[in-house]
Structure 1
């Protein structure tokens, strides 16, 4: 694949990814995805144009070329949602390259991604969410594993953490205080209040775990059966078992617990901007879509957060 990319652009792509990792604290997963997305775009251009374009040649890309790329992606089965993500990566790279080399890449930057309907997990009812937290550890083959699954579920529903954020906690976060410093997407940090129930659940797991977690400041708190980092698929499997037992729909996933956290706070009259900070969203619009509450209630909360002068 790299042979079809102009050497100067391949070097530029490497420099861009290195910058994202060093300055923007992008995760390894994000860097791999960006690398694939941009590389595929450049390989397409090499085939489409009959030769691998260099950085300067990107300024000659036409709207027809960009439409051809989008059509090519859709023809090979790429969903509208994935294509929008891939185009976003291409634009980010083009924006950086334009600033670095003084290029006019307006055509690439103005390309429009296909519209797609954002699908979000449905929130559980408060009773169902509490039942999940109470029962998720009851089918485990060992007490410490049951305590582990309960602790993770409480962090998702009680603190609104992403599964990656919960599993990213390390011994450095112990002993637990009244809040957690969470490093979220893009390396952005936020402070999340830690409910007493969440602190107690984590402390019980740490006490039962067969490893001295509190003594290992660099290792993750949550471990698998063999002592390695807990795989998020195991959390999803535990969630699947408990939802079958409770008769809940397939939408009752670990991420749905975080979604329920936000939705229930909003329904109780929580401030939209405060919830935005708790979730770690960069923009208020993301929180509006994510919580998926009815329009009338959302506007009421929004107007309280932004009173007219």
Structure 2
């Protein structure tokens, strides 16, 4: 499935962990970001129904206040979640952006989430968020509760759409529930990496890994959240790799994941938290793919 996304910012209330394996297979020379815009494909790709959709949620845009176990409806939200999306300040903008992505990942294209918030000048702003992938379309009427399978699927979907720069880049999302056509696979042949986690857990977490070849293309189109963000010290010239917000990048996918689907190329499972155990795996993983470029 192909997606594309827009800007957002906020940080999980969890410590930013470091993974020593970041960049272990990455060339010491940081690639120049060419910033290729692929926004012309957004809403014109024809694949929206089967798994290609918009990404671009910045790593700071993830705030637990936007998550709710109640029905995904303004009338059923917790008071905390409702107050968060109606906040007229910066935090409100972040909460609304997260909610937009939650709705996109969870509901179907024929479902919407509508509400209104009022800014500091007293002007009302109606919002209508449209569903897209339909991971949990029933969430519109029933609470998600402790359905950890769905929690992991939605979390992986959101993680796959995080973008360091907040730019729109079309990506193909694939796993056991996101089908892909041969045309989609031909248009998006470069495997970028994989994403997983649970934003609904008592201690929210997100994990990611990068493809040892595809990370080059990812950096070209400003997708840094699988391989880590590259920065060069202007004084010393030292190159460093940074985690993507609270997301822990564990290293190359060929060390973190296994069971590659022979047709669609996605990973069937990845290590949940390598610092806890190298054996505990999750199969609620979203693998992302990019265009090959010129």
TM-score, normalised to structure 1, is: 0.24
Higher share of residues assigned helix: 1
TM-score, normalised to structure 2, is: 0.25
Higher share of residues assigned strand: 2
Q: Which has the larger radius of gyration?
A: 1
